[in-house]
Structure 1
Amino acid sequence: MKVFILLALSTLMLLEAYRFTDETDRQALLEFKSQVSEGKRDVLSSWNNSFPLCRWKGVRCGRKHKRVTLLDLNGLQLGGVISPSIGNLSFLISLNLSDNSFGGTIPREVGNLFRLEHLDMSLNFLKEGIPVGIYNCSRLAEFSLFSNNLGKGVPSEIGSLRKLVVLDLGQNDLRGKLPASLGNLTSLMEVSFTTNNIEGEIPDDIARLTQMVALQLSANKFSGVFPPSIYNLSSLSFLNIFGCGFSGNLRPDFGHLLPNLEHIYMGGNYFTGAIPITLPIISNLQVLGMEDNNLRGSIPPSFGQVPNLQSLNFRANQLGSRSFGDLDFLGALTNCSQLQVVDVGENWLRGDLPNSIANLSRNLMYLSLQTNFISGSIPHDIGNLISLQSLRLNLNLLTGPLPTSVGKLLGLEELSIHSNRLSGEIPSSIGNITRLVYLYLSNNSFEGTIPLSLGKCSQLLDLQIGYNKLNGTIPQEIMVIRSLTTLSMSHNYLSGSLAKDVGRLQNLVRLSVSANKLSGELPQTLGNCFSMEFMYLQGNLFDGAIPDIKMLVGVKEVDLSNNNLSGSIPGYIANFSSLQYLNLSINNFEGMVPTEGKFQNSTIVLLFGNKNLCGGIKELKLKPCIAVAPLMETNHLSLLKKVVIGVSVGIAFLLLLFIVSLCWFIKRKKNQKTNNSAASTLESFHEKISYGVLQNATDGFSSSNIVGSGSFGTVFKALLPTENKIVAVKVLNMQRRGAMKSFMAECVSLKDIKHRNLVKLLTACASIDFHGNEFRALIYEFMPNGSLDMWLHPEEVEEIRRPSRTLTLLERLNIAIDVASVLDYLHVHCHEPIAHCDLKPSNTLLDDDLTAHVSDFGLARLLLKFDQESFFNQLSSAGVRGTIGYAAPEYGMGGQPSIHGDVYSFGVLLLEMLTGKRPTNELFGDNFTLHS
């Protein structure tokens, strides 16, 4: 009887197995194909009755029953929707539809695939949540919907999949909270909900997942404290909660509850508080990543007791007490012989860099201490870290030399020590690091020459050594490093020429050698740098014409300003489609400026300071060209000669007539007062004004109209009746010594310059008052909000003129930017550089919108030669006194006017704006100054 029953059961099972034949599978797949869009590839062309089912593309069958067991259509660029007929493939074990463009929903019929072990529908555009039917897949071993666009939450029915081993719902748009039913999946070993919008706390039921090996919850919106339930996962060896948005403190007993944990990833959250001191108790810990949080306090030295520690990452927190002793943990880490990564950059760590870092693991590959407050010097034995691939010590307070032992780091690919206070020469041993790819030494005080051995670093992509004190020439050896994409050597003291071998750098994207002392002609081979996008050669002594660079069609920014270049501007530059900035100012270019292409946009083309340029669009404000070009294009040379001779004779006659007239005029004016020379300067103004008009406009220079006073005169508010316009009238005290020079200096300085942040000089008055005395006045735009000084120190202002409020930080910042813009214009972009020499808050006026306008150019000096080391006073041999507290110290010792003096005054002005204290405040005395 028992045998009969067993046979009957076997028969029933076989009938069940064969109830659906391969014809069922065929029809199911053809129905699936009917709702799929293949585009132009027709990749499913083999899916027809002419081919055996098991030879269709992406289809595999079982050996015993010849039924479809695997369907793999990964990456075939299919579209459409997934047909419910997929549920009829009852022998299917693996279904992979990833990396396509399926839309719609996941059909409920997938739940009929009770043999399914692998399901991957990632990288599609599926919109709905997980179908209820799928919970019937009791034998499902792996479920992956990674990187779709599922829009609903994680359903509680998911807890029915008790055989599930791998659950991957990453990179979708799942919302809501995690269901407590997750705790039913006791066979689960790996789970990922990365990159969704899941929120709330992690349920305590997750502690029942005792087989858990990997948990990834990154990039969500989880909140609350780090859940105690996770601490009980004694088998957990991989924990990734990067970017979830967790907040709250880490439990101090974290280490006690996770003794077997090997990998911890908690980066990109909002964890606060100190690092749990029990974390290092996790003896099996290998990787600890807690970057991008808000952790405070110190890094426990007890991490040195974790024998298997390989990676320690606390980057971008707020660790450190900003006092000495923050780096003690580095010495303790010397016990970790397997250590490969240490990253504690972007924190508040302070103290001297310990020599013990040279004794860290010989396996160390990555060491980053960047962006802290670390002082001291780089250890001499840094070369002991023979496995190091990346060393980042940049943006600290390090001093001293770069040790020669750095040349022992033969595997180093990145050396970043920029923005410190390092000095001495760059060691030639650096050329031994032949695998070097990135070398950042800029913003230090390195001196001497550039080592020739750098030429051996044949894999260099990025070489930045600007803003140092390097001298000598640019080594020829560097010009053979064909891998270079960035070569930056600006702001040094390099001399010589730019080698013609620069054309061999055909991968070069950025070339910056600005602000050096390079000279000679630019090499013609520069046009061979076909990848060039940024070319900064300004502030040198280059001469000659622009070389043929027509092949640099991808160039975006070109700055050749402040050189001695000459010749015409190549017309092909107008056709550079990618060009965003072209600065050819302050050179000796000549001829006609193109008017097409990029030269139609004056906002990206700068040409001032080239006296012999003409034409161009009107916004460039260049002189018009003499229309002789058509004559030169003809072949009638004899006619051209006649025209030239005629023009020459005419010019000679006019010149002779002018000389005779000039001699007669000089003789006539020989005995007149020399101060009448002011008239020539006043000719540049559109309008002159009489003493009588100014007297009436100011009510007889009434004290009620006084709005300010200075060293050489008084400023009145006036209403000009002819224009019904309020102006500011600066009346000079001619009895004061130097008043006439101040008047002339201001006229000369302001007559030809224009800037939105300069007080506009409208006109001037050089006349005689009603008592027969000399009278000089300057008429400016009126600034209704007074001076910056009265806003910074309202307690010193009369109540009637006192500001009603204080300046906000943003307003102060905008004012500082306005003043800085003026200095940049005066020092760099004027036809002749100008030093203001008396920059201070009382000379910074504010209009209706609190936009700053710099005024009072009575002490200004034109600088004949714009040189950073020496300046010549064009107008007067008298030293510049300026104002006590704001004037640069060298002025008090007879130093010549310079842009450096203005920059010093600007620095004091910034300090006063931020502290509210004048440099002459009684608080300061002896060696205690606002500056110090």
Structure 2
Amino acid sequence: MNSHIGFLFSCLVISGITSSISISGGGNETDYQALLQFKSMITNEEGLSSWNTSFHFCDWSGVICGKRHRRVTALRLKSQGLEGSLSPHVGNLSFLRHISLSNNSFQGTIPHELGRLTRLRALDLSSNKFNGVIPTNLTRCYNLEELELSYNKLVGSIPKEISFLSKLTLISIRTNNLTGGIPPALGNITSMEVFSAAENPFGGSIPNTLGRWKSLRGFGCGGCNLFGTIPHSIYNLSRLANFSLAGNELIGSLPSALGAMLPHLVFLQLRHNNLIGPLPPSISNCSKLRILEVGDNNFSGKLTIDFAKLKDIYKISLYNNIFGGEADDMKFINTMENCSRLESLNLNTCQFQGVLPASIGNLSDRFRFLNLHGNHLHGRLPSSIGNLVGLTALDLSKNQFSGKIPSTIGKLQKLQDVFLSENQFSGPIPDAIGNLSLLITLYLSSNRLEWHIPSSVGNCYNLLALYLEDNNLSGRIPRQLLRLSSLALALDLSQNNLIESLPTEVGQLKMLTSLDLSDNNLSGNIPSSLGDCISLVSLSLKGNSFQGIVPSTLSSMRGVSTLDLSQNNLSGQIPRFLEGLILLEYVDLSFNDFEGEVPVLGVFANTTKFSVLGNSRLCGGLPELGLPKCKGTGKHKRRFPLFAIFILIASTLFTILCFAYVWGKKKKSQPSQSSREGRFIKVSYGQLLKATNGFSQANLIGEGGFSSVYKGILDDHDDRFVAIKVLHLQNRGAHKSFIAECQAWQSIRHRNLLKIITSCSSVDFQGNDFKALVYEFMPNGSLHDWLHSNVTTTKLNLLQRINILIDVASALDYLHNHCLPAIIHCDLKPSNILLDDDMVAHVGDFGLARFLGTNSNKNSTSGIRGTIGYAPPEYGAGSEITSSGDVYSFGILLLELMTGKRPTDNIFIEGLSLHRFADMALPDHVIDVIDDDLLNLHQEDAIPMIADVKKIEECMASTVKLGVSCSVDSPAQRLNIVNVVHELQHILDTLQNS
């Protein structure tokens, strides 16, 4: 009997175990199949390479399983570069507690099947491309604590049913397209700690019910079109640390007891609203406050905050309010001495009066940004300003400061931007200004400065723009200033008393865009070297005493659009080359002593585009000018004999051919200039092997079809890093690429081209051919890295992107218009744009470059014409390589930089391209296609010194329009690169002046 019972018990146990195995196996199989379905909807599976049968699915990358049941409990695939759709089968992973798919490229709708995941606690789908609505089914995930859907393209409204998720502590939905206001029912989620919903066009007011969120620490609804007042119940949320309502249409005033009601505030951001009244002095009690941003409101009254209690504060932004009105308005500066972390103080356009206290010099050594623009400050600038050794930007423009500029300003050796314009500064410009070697822009215009321009300014070798106009400066223009080859934006010395001739060194300003020397006492001839300023767009010499003829070398300034030579003593005939400057929009030659016939072509074909008034010896021209006819223009005008013209042409051609033959033979018999001078250092294969630690994988920084690029250090190169490009000579076309690149680098030098150090053509230790090029190392990698990889978490702001575009366009302008013969790059794309320490862009990789006007620019059916997506369509049809092909590639690169989308993005199918994608958004919906990262940076004030949001968005639209104009299919309709540089510079100027 006992044996029967024992047998029966054994059977039951075995049966139970079998049943358990069956259930477990079935559950595991469900999870396994769900993961396979997830993988099947990923279009690029590189990030899921471990998801194969060689491993148990619990060992797959990003998959976390429970130890007991071996069921999937978490899916963590953040920042894996995944593209595709999210499979609804994820809803079958019934043990899931955490889903993290952020920072990928998932698109399509969020599957409503996620509502089956009743154990789910955290759902993070942020930073993807999900569209559609937020599924109401998510409310079935009743254990959900964190919901993160930010940085997508979601539409519709916030489902009011989300209020049933009573355990929610975090909702993050910022930067979508959600409308319909903030549902009052959300106030029922009393566990809420963080609500982040900025940058959604919600509309409506802030519900009073949100005052029930007693545990709330973070509330962000900036840029949500909210109106009305801030409910008083919000101020009762005493745990609130981050409070941001910037960029709305809120009205009303702040409670006087704000600091006592919200004592834990760390971030207070209320900028760009319509708030009124005083700024509560009780803010002094917010001892943890780090950021105070209330700019662009209508706050008024005296600023009485005691900053001494705010020891952690690092950013104070109060611009564009109505503070002040008393003689001691700036007294609050005295309370900032203990603010040891303060970095930025922005008080521009606040109507502050009085003097700037000497205590300004007691601010933190971390202090880097001071903006007092547009107030009513007077008196001397304290010499203690020299104590702010960390300062990088100083804006005191549009005040009434007087007296001398203190020489202690020379101690601020980190200064990059100085704005002292429109004050009453007098005396000399201090010589100490030459100590500011990092200076980029210097504005001293519209003051009462006198004496001479210090030659020490020539030490500011990073200077891009110098404005000294409208002062009382005298003496000569220092030659050291004109040797500043960095000057690229503007040199304005107008409305002063400068004397003597214009030094010939002016020709060294080859990158300069605008030169204004008008209304001085300059004399002598216009130097012929001025024609070397080939980048000039605007040139004004008016109101001086220049004499003689206009030098013919000015014909080299092919990009000039405005030329003003009026009110001088110039003579001779009006230069005919002015007719051929196709970009010339206006020329003023009035009140000189020109004689002879007025041209009728080019700019002279329209009387609104030129002026020749006050030249009494002119004749001819357009009838509207009313000038007398020129003598000798009748029917019997003598003609030069035709046979004489023929003889002249024939003899000239014969002379040229003979010279070319002799010169060619002579060149063959002599080494090149570069080889005679030994310009490049010599390196061997062994040296490069050592420099890269045996071409180790750890030193590999890039790879392409023809080459691999390694980081290394050459022994005789001052221990500086170099980039060593090793050619894959076994690949077809690699040798040709090496030759093309060497030929290109022989004759080009430009600040926006990658600098070559040397080359190596040798054999390796096995006797195989070895070829390499050694370049200057670019520490900030490629533009592609910044746009599409996880190399850096920092994103490029708008100013950086525009500056990079200007750098690249300037390089193309040099290659197309200032090289002989002209060079076509043929492979412009983000991976070939390298960035140095200062984020200056350098164009590299000339392996496909062609010389215009030679046989090398003919395409063949087997030739490489660039990279798919960037190569112009006509190359695919076998057309010749032209400069407009590079313009097309630049246009695509520009659109990629502004939209964040590659031209080969998966969305570009069925006739949709990056060009068409951008074109369809013009003119009113450009913001919809702008890179989300760029919009986020813009909203978070990553663009310094720019306050006009509308102007910024207009600049974004202008930039996209420029990219569309460059990338049209028809080569003839594309912009000239000179125009592109000009337009980008205009956009940059607009941004910086916003």
Q: Which of the numbers 483, 486, 489 marks the counterpart of 2:490? A: 486
The Cα offsets for residues 171-206 of structure 1, whole Å up to 9 and x where unpaired, read as 233222212343455665543222222233323443
Q: Structure 1 574/339 Cα, relative in aligned 2: closer, same or farther at 3 Å?
A: same
Q: Which of the numbers 544, 566, 570 marks the counterpart of 2:571? A: 566
The amino acid across from 1:476 in the alignment is R
Superposition deviation, residue 580 in structure 1 = 3.0
Equivalent position SS for 1:549: helix
Residue 433, structure 1, aligned to residue 443, structure 2 = no
Alignment of 1:422-571 (within 5 A): 422-484=425-487, 485-543=489-547, 544-571=549-576
Q: Which of the numbers 601, 608, 612 marks the counterpart of 2:613? A: 608
The Cα offsets for residues 790-844 of structure 1, whole Å up to 9 and x where unpaired, read as xxxxxxxxxxxxxxxxxxxxxxxxxxxxxxxxxxxxxxxxxxxxxxxxxxxxxxx
Residue 20, structure 1, aligned to residue 30, structure 2 = yes
Q: Which of the numbers 312, 315, 325 marks the counterpart of 2:316? A: 312
Q: Which of the numbers 351, 354, 377 marks the counterpart of 1:348? A: 351
Q: Structure 1 389/196 Cα, relative in aligned 2: closer, same or farther at 3 Å?
A: same
8 A Cα contact 1:122 1:144, kept in partner: no
8 A Cα contact 1:509 1:533, kept in partner: yes
Q: Which of the numbers 314, 330, 340 marks the counterpart of 1:337? A: 340
Residue 240, structure 1, aligned to residue 244, structure 2 = yes
Q: Which of the numbers 617, 641, 645 marks the counterpart of 1:634? A: 641
Q: Structure 1 62/560 Cα, relative in aligned 2: closer, same or farther at 3 Å?
A: same
Equivalent position SS for 1:453: helix
Q: Structure 1 597/193 Cα, relative in aligned 2: closer, same or farther at 3 Å?
A: farther
Q: Structure 1 50/149 Cα, relative in aligned 2: closer, same or farther at 3 Å?
A: closer
Partner of 2:228: 224
Alignment of 1:696-775 (within 5 A): none
Superposition deviation, residue 161 in structure 1 = 4.4
Equivalent position SS for 2:306: helix
Q: Distance in 2 between matches of 1:252 and 1:6?
A: 71
Residue 62, structure 1, aligned to residue 63, structure 2 = yes
Partner of 2:690: none
Q: Distance in 2 between matches of 1:258 and 1:525?
A: 66
Q: Distance in 2 between matches of 1:101 and 1:598?
A: 54
Give the TM-score normalised by the residue count of structure 2. 0.57
8 A Cα contact 2:258 2:280, kept in partner: yes
The Cα offsets for residues 313-351 of structure 1, whole Å up to 9 and x where unpaired, read as 21110111x231222212222343333222222012112
Residue 155, structure 1, aligned to residue 165, structure 2 = no
Percentage of matched positions with identical amino acids: 33
Superposition deviation, residue 416 in structure 1 = 1.5
Q: Structure 1 266/410 Cα, relative in aligned 2: closer, same or farther at 3 Å?
A: same
Equivalent position SS for 1:609: coil
Superposition deviation, residue 87 in structure 1 = 4.9
Q: Distance in 2 between matches of 1:10 and 1:60?
A: 28
Equivalent position SS for 2:162: helix
8 A Cα contact 1:560 1:584, kept in partner: yes
Q: Structure 1 10/236 Cα, relative in aligned 2: closer, same or farther at 3 Å?
A: farther
Q: Structure 1 88/586 Cα, relative in aligned 2: closer, same or farther at 3 Å?
A: farther
Q: Which structure features the higher share of helix residues?
A: 2
Out of 553-562 and 399-408, give the one that drifted further: 553-562
Superposition deviation, residue 24 in structure 1 = 4.1
The Cα offsets for residues 78-98 of structure 1, whole Å up to 9 and x where unpaired, read as 79x877566567669546476
Q: Structure 1 522/200 Cα, relative in aligned 2: closer, same or farther at 3 Å?
A: same
Equivalent position SS for 1:259: coil
Give the TM-score normalised by the residue count of structure 1. 0.60
Alignment of 1:591-606 (within 5 A): 591-606=596-611
Superposition deviation, residue 446 in structure 1 = 0.5
8 A Cα contact 1:60 1:69, kept in partner: no
Superposition deviation, residue 368 in structure 1 = 1.9
Q: Distance in 1 between matches of 2:63 and 2:47?
A: 19
Residue 263, structure 1, aligned to residue 267, structure 2 = yes
Residue 199, structure 1, aligned to residue 200, structure 2 = no
Superposition deviation, residue 632 in structure 1 = 5.3
The amino acid across from 1:62 in the alignment is V
The amino acid across from 1:272 in the alignment is I
Superposition deviation, residue 354 in structure 1 = 2.4
Partner of 1:282: 286
Partner of 2:296: 292
Superposition deviation, residue 473 in structure 1 = 0.9
Alignment of 1:56-95 (within 5 A): 60=61, 62=63, 69=75, 84=88, 87=91, 94=99
Q: How many residues align?
A: 622
Superposition deviation, residue 74 in structure 1 = 7.5
Q: Distance in 2 between matches of 1:14 and 1:572?
A: 88
Q: Structure 1 32/403 Cα, relative in aligned 2: closer, same or farther at 3 Å?
A: closer
Residue 249, structure 1, aligned to residue 250, structure 2 = no
Q: Distance in 1 between matches of 2:519 and 2:505?
A: 21
Q: Structure 1 5/406 Cα, relative in aligned 2: closer, same or farther at 3 Å?
A: farther
Q: Distance in 1 between matches of 2:298 and 2:338?
A: 28
Q: Distance in 2 between matches of 1:32 and 1:327?
A: 60
Q: Which of the numbers 327, 331, 334 marks the counterpart of 1:328? A: 331
8 A Cα contact 2:359 2:384, kept in partner: no
Q: Structure 1 514/3 Cα, relative in aligned 2: closer, same or farther at 3 Å?
A: farther
Partner of 2:821: none
Superposition deviation, residue 370 in structure 1 = 1.6
The Cα offsets for residues 573-617 of structure 1, whole Å up to 9 and x where unpaired, read as 444444332222222334444434433333222233334444444
Q: Distance in 1 between matches of 2:307 and 2:254?
A: 17
Out of 524-533 and 390-399, give the one that drifted further: 524-533
The Cα offsets for residues 326-383 of structure 1, whole Å up to 9 and x where unpaired, read as 2221222234333322222201211223233233333322222221111111113221
Q: Structure 1 302/72 Cα, relative in aligned 2: closer, same or farther at 3 Å?
A: closer
Root-mean-square deviation (Å): 3.9
8 A Cα contact 1:526 1:547, kept in partner: no
Q: Structure 1 197/264 Cα, relative in aligned 2: closer, same or farther at 3 Å?
A: same
Q: Distance in 2 between matches of 1:190 and 1:530?
A: 56
The amino acid across from 2:633 in the alignment is A
